[in-house]
Amino acid sequence: MNWKFSTASELFARLDESGLDLPAYLLARESFYAGKTEMELREEIARRIRVTKAALDRGIREPQVSFSGMTQGGAAKLAHSESWPVEDDLFRRALTYALAINEVNACGGKVVAFPTAGSCGIAPGLLWAYRDARDAALGPDHPRFQDAFIVASAVGMLIAARATLAGAAGGCQAECGAAAAMAAAGLAWLLGEDERGSLDAAALALKNTLGLVCDPIAGLVEVPCTKRNAFMAAEALTAVCLKRAGISSVIPFDEVLGAMKMIGDSMPSTLKESAEGGLAATPTGLSYWEKIK
């Protein structure tokens, strides 16, 4: 078996050669490299999915308040809001869950970086929202639910190979942008898209966040990060809505990654997680340096 790929087109070639679908191929590959059985790997994936659920529940149940004071139990407010202008249960849960998980992270709780900690609410938030709103049969031990996380991981692997998943190297397009693309691919897979369709949904999402800067106030993973997790869950959902309507990305996934890499490289370091530019450099943003001393 050939386990080597660095682009989506190479990955598709591997799938065509092997006759496996994307989750089966990646599990077999990981089993080969890590020396673990596919069942052991699935158990570990299930364990990590359960950690995302624990963070989600905690973020809603216990209003998360951070040391800096910038995080003030937003997810708990959303969960109990009676002023939603939108009726859709999936949408409401996606926003609430993504925010809940990321607020737990901001407050130093236990999460799963997916792909990073600052973006850890987006994909699990959206996938759990789909589970709770539309398909209660799914869950950590359900192979299809695990497969959605695996497809999302594949998007992260490809972004890491061609561009980066570090805000310090590529700005927030590489973190929350990447996570939204991963979430879109995972949900598209759950809805029945194949590999190409799922990666096309990822491309739609990723294009919308190219150039997104990483300008965290006082260098904390809080503002704009936590609320951005909610926004990005909505973006990922939008990408899947477009894809399911038959709308495709004009620029293929691999080429979007090339653009992402070029944009990240040309972004000034003041806008790449250095806390020296953007929101971090505003008067209010600067005032938080004093508050956390």
Partner 1 sequence: MTATTTGILDILGPVMIGPSSSHTAGVARIAFLARKIFPYPLLRARVSFYGSLARTYRGHGSDKAALAGLLGILPEDERLGYARELAEREGLAYEIVPVYEGPERYHPNTAVIELWAADESGEKSAERYIRIRGASIGGGEIRLQSIGGFEADLDGSLDALLVLHRDEIGVIAIISHILAANRFNIASAVSHRKDKGDEALLVIEVDGVVPAGIVAQVRELPAVREVVYVPSIRA
- Which parts of this chain interact with partner 1 (CB under 8 A)? 3-7, 10, 26-27, 29-30, 33-35, 41, 44-45, 47-48, 51, 68, 104-118, 120, 149-150, 152-154, 156-158, 160-162, 164-169, 174, 182, 216, 218-222, 269, 272-276, 292-293
SS3 call for 32: helix
Nearer to partner 1, 7 or 18 (CB): 7
For partner 1, the closer of residues 76 and 148 by Cβ is 148
- List CB contacts of 22: < 8 A, sequence separation 6 or more: 11, 15, 150, 151, 154, 189, 195, 198
**C-beta separation of 251 from 207 below 8 A:** yes
Q: What is the closest distance, in whole angstroms, from the C-beta atom of residue 243 to partner 1 in the complex? A: 21
Q: Which is nearer to partner 1, 244 or 261 (CB)?
A: 261
Under 8 Å between Cβ of 121 and 233? yes
Q: How far is the CB of 161 from partner 1 (least distance, A)?
A: 4
Q: Least distance to partner 1 from the beta carbon of 211, Å?
A: 18
Question: What is the separation, in whole angstroms, between the first and last Cα of the chain?
Answer: 54
Comparing CA positions, the residue from 69, 103, 65 lying closest to residue 291 is 69
- Please state the closest distance from residue 157 (CB atom) to partner 1, in A: 5
CB atoms within 10 A of CB 89: 12
Q: Which is nearer to partner 1, 94 or 275 (CB)?
A: 275
- CB-CB contact of 252 with 147 (8 Å): no
Question: Do the Cβ atoms of 229 and 119 come closer than 8 Å?
Answer: yes
If the CB atoms of residues 120 and 188 are measured against partner 1, the closer one turns out to be: 120
> In the complex, what is the shortest distance from the CB of residue 37 to partner 1, in angstroms, rounded to a whole number?
14
DSSP 3-state assignment of 101?
helix
